[in-house]
Structure 1
Amino acid sequence: MPKKFIIGITGGSGVGKTTLIELLRKEFPNKITTFSLDNYYLPIEKQQRDENGIVNFDLPTALDTKRMAADFLKLVEGQDISFSTYNFNNPIGDRSDVSLVSKDILLVEGLFVMCYPFLKQRLDYAVYLKMDPDLQFERRLKRDLQERNYSKEDIIYQWKHHVLPAYNNYVLPYIDEVDLIITNNQSFDENINVLIDKIRNVLSVISE
């Protein structure tokens, strides 16, 4: 079985996980596969609703763990995968097909990376992103207005009733179990260099 170096990247909503991954992909072109948990949400009719009847996407049960585990294992074993992206509040016709090619570095990113044993137990290295909560909300607001077709009122409701409870229950408890914490307020702190050096060293070993 081909050996992949598997890095988990977690943290609350809007902390910059996607930005970090884009930075790493530029730093290490053609060496990284990104496995995003956002691509594995169950259809909206299968999602849990809160006491007000609003769909709550911010739960570990919101994701299709069976399909996720199967695709993850394929990548670990060196196989390529294909799937359709999930677009949250956008029309289902906006979905697009995506293919992932298995490469030396496998980045597993999402809110619940540490929640699922089949992911957590396979990680070689775990990274936790954090930022000032006010900045975090501003970024979440901007993203969901522009990319997910939500109203400002809906975003504020989700933040208070879904996002913050999910963070406190399913993300924050794992902060002491990761290998590296990176703070991302105005920019990534110096620990970004620790992560880059780690990947560079791993790739040098793999290439030997």
Structure 2
Amino acid sequence: MTERFNQKPYIIGIAGNSGSGKTYFLNCFLKHFNPGEASFISLDNYYIPANTKTKEENKLYNFDLPSAFNKDSFYNDIKSLIEGRTVTKEEYTFNNPLLKSKTLEIKPAPILIIEGLFIFHYNEINTLIDHRIFMYTDEKTALKRRLKRDFIERGYNEEEVLYKWNNHVIPAYHKYLLPFKESCNQVIDNNIENEEDIDIISKEISTYLRQAFF
């Protein structure tokens, strides 16, 4: 373990379309590691703040573009973790007034997991990744999950979700993420609501990594 901290961490990049089940997979994946073995950083916390916009402006604003994120800050924090420095970051709450933002403390570890819609599109970040995982779900299933999540967690109604889905989410997915699917090391098909299968896959990957590095 000590020798491993003197080396560049093994970096896993996880991306997938909205509603592909990335969050559930990540939760399953991380639980198979002991404290200090793996660290996690998400692009979701690097949105450029839009909390000064009105509700109607938020509805029209496109959060599904590479320019909606502070890419440079995300990249610099990844580099800090690679160099062994702890990162503190304010959690992004998607402008939901019912959610209280937390301060996240992200510590360096031998395995670094980075997640986000555009991590393969951002070339300087993509080149840092050692193993790329693509979470895939058909668009009908993904929309069903998105409707449920955005209503419960982010306070959007169905009309708002459908507007963003058709005008922002799907065009961005086809332009900035789907082209990378075939070049990823692993594609996880998550079309069915079978949490046990996802847990098995996450355990298989984490077991291999733990054997390789610990």
TM-score in same-fold range (> 0.5):
yes
Look up the match of 2:61: 55
Which of 1 and 2 has higher RCO (CA within 8 Å, sep 6+)? 2
Q: 1:15 aligns with which of 14, 17, 20?
A: 20
* Residues 30-49 of structure 1: pairs in structure 2 closer than 5 A: 30=35, 31-44=37-50
Q: Which amino acid aligns with 2:155?
A: N
Is the CA contact (8 Å cut-off) linking 1:5 and 1:202 kept in structure 2?
Answer: no
Look up the match of 1:200: 207
Runs of at least 5 residues in structure 2 that lack an aligned partner in the other structure: 1-5
Residues 23 and 148 of structure 1, relative CA distance in 2, 3 Å threshold: same
CA-to-aligned-CA distance 1:20-44 (integer Å, 9 cap, x gap): 0100111223222111100000011
Task: State TM-score, norm by structure 1.
Answer: 0.88
Write the distance in 1 (CA, Å) between the matches of 2:99 and 2:18: 25
The answer to whether residue 12 in structure 2 is matched with residue 4 in structure 1 is no
Q: 2:33 aligns with which of 1, 21, 28?
A: 28
Is the CA contact (8 Å cut-off) linking 1:71 and 1:81 kept in structure 2?
Answer: yes
Q: Which amino acid aligns with 2:210?
A: L
Look up the match of 1:161: 167
CA-to-aligned-CA distance 1:97-145 (integer Å, 9 cap, x gap): 1111112211111111101112100111000011122110011111100
* Residues 180-195 of structure 1: pairs in structure 2 closer than 5 A: 180-186=186-192, 187=194
Other structure's SS at 1:111 match = coil
The Cα RMSD (Å) is 2.6
Other structure's SS at 1:86 match = coil
Q: 1:85 aligns with which of 86, 91, 95?
A: 91
Write the distance in 2 (CA, Å) between the matches of 1:91 and 1:178: 37
Deviates more, 1:194-203 or 1:5-14: 194-203
Other structure's SS at 2:84 match = coil
Other structure's SS at 1:28 match = coil
Is the CA contact (8 Å cut-off) linking 1:89 and 1:149 kept in structure 2?
Answer: no
How many residues matched? 204
Residues 59 and 20 of structure 1, relative CA distance in 2, 3 Å threshold: same
Other structure's SS at 2:119 match = coil
Write the distance in 2 (CA, Å) between the matches of 1:25 and 1:179: 19
Is the CA contact (8 Å cut-off) linking 1:6 and 1:107 kept in structure 2?
Answer: yes
Write the distance in 1 (CA, Å) between the matches of 2:198 and 2:19: 19
> How much has 1:188 moved relative to structure 2?
6.5
Look up the match of 2:3: none
Q: Which amino acid aligns with 1:118?
A: E
Residues 65 and 3 of structure 1, relative CA distance in 2, 3 Å threshold: same
Write the distance in 2 (CA, Å) between the matches of 1:54 and 1:109: 25
Is the CA contact (8 Å cut-off) linking 1:89 and 1:150 kept in structure 2?
Answer: no
Other structure's SS at 2:44 match = helix
